[in-house]
Amino acid sequence: MPKTFLIDTSRCTACRGCQLACKEWHGLPANKTKQFGWGSHQNPQDLNPNNYKLVRFSEHLEDDVVRWNFFPDQCRHCEVAPCKETGDLYREGAIVQDEKTGAILYTDGTRKFSKEQFEEIRESCPYNIPRRNEKTGILSKCTMCNDRVHKGMLPSCVKVCPTGAMAFGERGEMLKLAEERLATVKKRFPNAMLADPDDVMVIYLLTDAPENYHSFAVAAAPQSTMDRKRFLAKLARPVTRMTEKA
């Protein structure tokens, strides 16, 4: 039975506990941070091989009032993952899907992808998630804490969230919870919505338009169409690529 997250941004206070818990569980080193002052308290500025999770800060004016939106960004573990489809064209088995949890996992085999192949994998992701370690060549992103989940534990980020902004469990239960929370949140935020709930295993409840959170809060339809076309074009010429040794 696949697992699913619900990330309810109406409850997120941007404490960044999830971001740190993720680093701690995976033994990821610290990043040098910088105060950007007027722009954002977001740190670091983007996902990177040492940050599988990043709490994004976004502020904008709404009726002359500053509104802050917080978005704990991570891999969505797509039901049919474009990054895996692209990776399989070059090196089948480097990116895998766990049959039990549904997690999309990057193995050590991803170090065999060339830089150009990585760029294609990253571009095929509708949420701009995969990152590459320039020293080792390994591609990285959220693992769904698959090791913890297989032992019956919650993902590290979900476990530490102090406000209950994140929930994790069986997909049916999470979809039901998402609809219930949406109905509640809509009373205060009429434009509240669920981001791509049918396609991903990390469902965000947004209280505002997706573009007021982050450029990739939802999968952009034109980009997905372009990626699909690119994918189909590659399928027409797979023979040399599939046998290529990167």
Residue 145 found at the interface with ligand SF4 (CB under 6 A): yes
Nearer to ligand SF4, 63 or 152 (CB): 152
Of the candidate spans 31-39, 75-83, 108-116, 205-213, the one that interacts with ligand SF4 by CB under 6 A turns out to be: 75-83
Contact positions with ligand SF4 (CB under 6 A) in 155-174:
155-157, 161, 163, 165-166
Residue 78 interacts with ligand SF4 (CB under 6 A)? yes
Q: Within 82-111, which residues bind ligand SF4 (CB under 6 A)? A: 82-83, 104
> CB atoms < 10 A from the CB of 134, how many?
8
Which of 12, 178, 203, 217 contacts ligand SF4 by CB under 6 A? 12
Name which of 45, 67, 65 is nearest 56 in CA terms.
45
Q: For the CB of residue 180, give the shortest distance to ligand SF4 in the complex, in Å.
A: 19
E strand intervals along the chain: 3-8, 54-62, 65-73, 95-97, 104-106, 131-132, 139-140, 166-170, 193-195, 202-206
Closer to ligand SF4 by Cβ: residue 124 or 193: 124
Q: Find the binder of ligand SF4 among 4, 10, 22, 131 (CB under 6 A).
A: 22
Q: Is position 195 an interface residue for ligand SF4 (rule: CB under 6 A)?
A: no
User: In the numeric block, which tokens belong to residue 246?
Assistant: 């990167």
Three-state SS at 28: coil
Buried b (16+ CB within 10 A) or exposed e, 178-212: beebbeebeeeeeebbbbbbebbbbbbbbbbebeb
Tell me whether residue 149 or residue 193 sits nearer to ligand SF4 (CB atom).
149
Q: What angle do CA 154, 155, 158 make, to 5 degrees?
A: 85
Q: What x-and-dash track marks residues 35-54 binding ligand SF4 by CB under 6 A? A: -----------------xx-
- Positions in the binding site for ligand SF4 (CB under 6 A): 12-18, 21-22, 25, 52-53, 55, 72, 74-78, 81-83, 104, 125, 127, 129-130, 141-145, 155-157, 161, 163, 165-166
